[in-house]
Homo-oligomer: A and B are copies of this chain.
Amino acid sequence: MIVAPHMSVHPFSPLFFKTRAYFSAGRHVSYLKVNRVIEKKKFRLLSIMSSLRLSSRSLLLKRLYASFKPAPQLTVSDLNESTLEAKYAVRGKIPIRADELRSEIDSNPDGHGLPYDRIISANIGNPQQLDQQPLSWYRQVLSLMQYPTLINKISTLDKKTADSLYPPDVVERARKLLKTTGSVGAYSHSQGDITVRKSVAKFISERDGYAAHPQNIFLTSGASSAVSYLIQVLSSSPNAGFLIPIPQYPLYTASIALNNAKPIGYFLDEDSHWSTDPVQIRRLIDENKANGVDLKALVVINPGNPTGAILTEKDIAEIIDIAAEHGLVLIADEVYQENVFEGKFVSMKKVYAQLLEKDPETYKHVQLASLHSTSKGVSGECGQRGGYMELVGFSQEVRDIIFKLASINLCPVVSGQALVELMINPPKEGEPSYELYQKETTGIHDDLMKRASLLYKSFCAMTDVQCNKPQGAMYLFPSLKFTKETYSKLFEASEELNLTPDEYYCTELLEKTGICCVPGNGFGQVPGTYHLRTTFLPPGTKWIEEWTKFHEDFVSKYKN
Contact = CB atoms under 8 A, between A and B. Distances in A.
Interface in A409-437: 409-416
Nearest to A255: B408
A382 B182 CA distance: 12
Given A26-B521, A79-B236, A324 B272 contact: no
Given A65-B321, A70-B324, A129-B186, A39 B286 contact: yes
A342 to B, nearest CB: 15
A252 B74 CA distance: 21
Interface stretch (A15-23, A199-207, A461-469, A482-490): A15-23
Interface in A151-190: 153-154, 157, 161, 164-165, 182-190
Contacts of A255: 408
Interface string A444-477: 0000000000000000000000000000000000
A382 B401 contact: no
A81 B279 contact: no
A292 B100 CA distance: 43
Contacts of A30: 241, 262-265, 284, 288, 293
A128 interface: yes
A328 B74 CA distance: 9
A76 B312 CA distance: 33
A355 interface: yes
Contacts of A24: 265, 527
A272 B13 contact: yes
B74 A382 contact: no
Nearest to A144: B143
A329 interface: yes
Question: Could you say how many copies of this chain the assembly holds?
Answer: 2
Contacts of A394: 73-74
Interface in A355-410: 355, 358-359, 361-367, 375, 379-385, 393-395, 397-398, 401, 404-405, 407-410
A269 to B, nearest CB: 4
Contacts of A382: 185-187, 410-411
A363 B272 contact: no
User: Which size class do A's interface residues fall under?
Assistant: 35 or more
A547 B92 CA distance: 55
Contact of A401 (B22, B28, B76, B233): B76
Contacts of A383: 183-188, 411, 413-415
A99 interface: yes
A5 interface: yes
Given A33-B287, A384-B184, A416-B413, A83 B401 contact: yes
B75 A398 contact: yes
A13 B269 contact: yes
A359 B38 contact: no
Nearest to A84: B401
Given A9-B314, A16-B280, A65-B282, A165 B189 contact: no
B38 A414 contact: no
Contacts of A74: 327, 329, 367, 394-395, 398
Interface in A127-156: 127-129, 134, 136, 139-140, 142-144, 146-150, 153-154
Given A4-B313, A15-B267, A80 B234 contact: yes
Contacts of A380: 185
A29 interface: yes
Interface in A269-308: 269, 271-272, 275, 277-280, 282-284, 286-288, 290-291, 293, 296
A408 B313 contact: no
28 contacts: A6-B318, A13-B269, A13-B272, A13-B277, A15-B272, A23-B527, A25-B527, A28-B257, A30-B264, A65-B325, A68-B324, A68-B325, A69-B325, A73-B365, A78-B236, A83-B401, A83-B405, A139-B147, A139-B148, A153-B165, A185-B380, A185-B382, A187-B383, A225-B409, A228-B409, A382-B410, A383-B411, A413-B415
